[in-house]
Amino acid sequence: MRWTTRIAAAALVAVLQACATPPAHTPPPPPAMANEARPPVTILISIDGFRSDYLQRGVTPNLARLAAQGITGPMRPSFPSKTFPNHWTLVTGLVPDHHGIVGNRMEDAAHPGQTFTTASDAPYWWNAAPPIWVEAERAGIRTGTVFWPGANVAWGSTVTKADHGDYAGGARPRDWLQYNQAINGTQRVDTVLDWLRRPAAADRPRFVTLYFDRVDVVGHDYGPNSPEVAQAAAQVDAQIGALVDGLAALHQPANLVLVSDHGMSETSDTRVIPLDLPKDSYHLIEAGPFAALTPLPGKEALVEGTLLGRHPHMECWRKAEIPARFRFGSNPRIPAILCLAEPRWMIVEKLPDAPFTRGEHGYDNRSADMAALFIAAGPAFRHGTVPAFDNVDVAPLLRDLLGLPPGRGLDGDDAPFRSLLQPR
């Protein structure tokens, strides 16, 4: 036996012995993942309607652990504190007045007869600002979205046949799903993990969005102080725990950025403000925490005379006179008059016919009730607390995490986070 053969035989014995007695406490990595250093994935997670202080209710141990490892702080939504405007702000870095999704319901004189609702995916509503997944794909970074308002829109496309849903061109995340509320939180997490389990690194997304709606739905139905909200928060927390465990099992480093779009305020039949106007004097876009409306021709003086100024629990402005701090009022999609209720109050066309306790959002974006969740954890982050900041700063942070150059003309920047990022 030559010496090289002897050494090989000894090595083989050593390997066999090692295989026969694996250490009980360190299971080997899955074969496909062995010895593979994965680059970090950035996962932007939205828990719709998760008010900042839900974190202190003692029902979200996984979020608490992530907050303790990374950075956290109260985040101000943009005005109006509604779902679609704020989700689009989080991925564009622009306030709603600038990105064009100025409400969950809107009209546009450039597209007469069309009304935007949360089911609208016609590109012209969305095309004013590219979302971060489009910017990432342009830079060669693969992206995937398990839901996000606007993620099923072919961004930048043009309508080829009016109102028939035919569009040409446009960009979408490489992996995306048509929004379907019936796909539960566990299935959403499993979808993300399945994408990251793909054997070839090039097939795995490097930027992912993940969206949970349940806390918002329950917050609307039962109010923010209900046991049902605590239960829904605990449920989504467990799903995020499963995501963290799944990532660890894949040896997949991840920078997690957890946000919500707005908080939630408790409303009641005892706190309503009737819109005291004749029915034939105005066109209402939406009412509730705020009312957005246009006087009908010839009724301008009546509507303005009745509404403009301060009322008990409500204040109304012409769009050009909305206080500057709201950063809202220049977009053509904003109607002529905005009335804003105090948190916990509702502007209504018709008085309620039964008692209720529910939840709403859409109020002053600086009110405590509207404060949103923010936690970021992973290899890119130090540990620390970030003072209250505006949600226009999230997209610049995501650009840093993805290695994209700073965005041009954005309404936010990464200043709140700079001292809390690990050196690259």
Instruction: Kindly state the smallest distance separating residue 262's Cβ from Zn ion, in Å.
Output: 6
Q: Measured between alpha carbons, how far is 21 from 6 in angstroms, rounded to an integer?
A: 23
Contact between 83 and Zn ion per CB under 5 A: yes
Contact between 213 and Zn ion per CB under 5 A: no
Contact between 369 and Zn ion per CB under 5 A: no
Residue type, position 235, single letter? Q
Instruction: Kindly state the smallest distance separating residue 28's Cβ from Zn ion, in Å.
Output: 43
Q: Which one, 49 or 100, has the nearer CB to Zn ion? A: 49
Q: Measured between alpha carbons, how far is 239 from 237 in angstroms, rounded to an integer?
A: 5
Active-site hit among 83, 89, 191, 306: 83
Q: Which one, 101 or 247, has the nearer CB to Zn ion? A: 101
Q: Which one, 261 or 360, has the nearer CB to Zn ion? A: 261
Pick from 261, 286, 393, 400 the residue near Zn ion by CB under 5 A: 261
Q: How many CA atoms lie within 13 A of 356 on its CB side?
A: 19
**Residues in contact with 288: Cβ distance below 8 Å, sequence separation at least 6, in sequence order:** 341, 346, 347, 348, 360, 362
Q: How many CB atoms lie within 10 A of CB 3?
A: 7
Instruction: Kindly state the smallest distance separating residue 175's Cβ from Zn ion, in Å.
Output: 23
Instruction: Kindly state the smallest distance separating residue 354's Cβ from Zn ion, in Å.
Output: 25
Q: Measured between alpha carbons, how far is 43 from 60 in angstroms, rounded to an integer?
A: 19
Pick from 48, 97, 369, 414 the residue near Zn ion by CB under 5 A: 48
Q: Considering only the stretches 78-86, 191-199, 299-307, 380-388, report the one whose residues sit in contact with Zn ion under the rule CB under 5 A.
A: 78-86
Q: Measured between alpha carbons, how far is 240 from 124 in angstroms, rounded to an integer?
A: 34
Q: How many CB atoms lie within 10 A of CB 102?
A: 29
Q: Which one, 83 or 306, has the nearer CB to Zn ion? A: 83
Q: Which one, 84 or 317, has the nearer CB to Zn ion? A: 84
Q: Considering only the stretches 79-87, 96-104, 198-206, 227-235, report the one whose residues sit in contact with Zn ion under the rule CB under 5 A.
A: 79-87
* Phi (first) and psi of residue 333, to 5 degrees: -80, -10
Residue nearest Zn ion by beta-carbon distance: 83
83 is catalytic: yes
DSSP, collapsed to helix, strand or coil, labels residue 138 as helix
Q: Measured between alpha carbons, how far is 227 from 29 in angstroms, rounded to an integer?
A: 41
Instruction: Kindly state the smallest distance separating residue 161's Cβ from Zn ion, in Å.
Output: 32
Q: Which one, 211 or 317, has the nearer CB to Zn ion? A: 211
Counting residues that bind Zn ion (by CB under 5 A) gives: 5
Q: Considering only the stretches 43-51, 68-76, 309-317, 350-358, report the one whose residues sit in contact with Zn ion under the rule CB under 5 A.
A: 43-51
Q: How many CA atoms lie within 13 A of 189 on its CB side?
A: 18
Largest alpha-carbon pair distance within the chain?
Answer: 107
Task: Look up residue 70 and give its two tokens.
Answer: 């990374």
The binding site for Zn ion (CB under 5 A) comprises 48-49, 83, 216, 261
Point out the residues that are catalytic.
Answer: 83
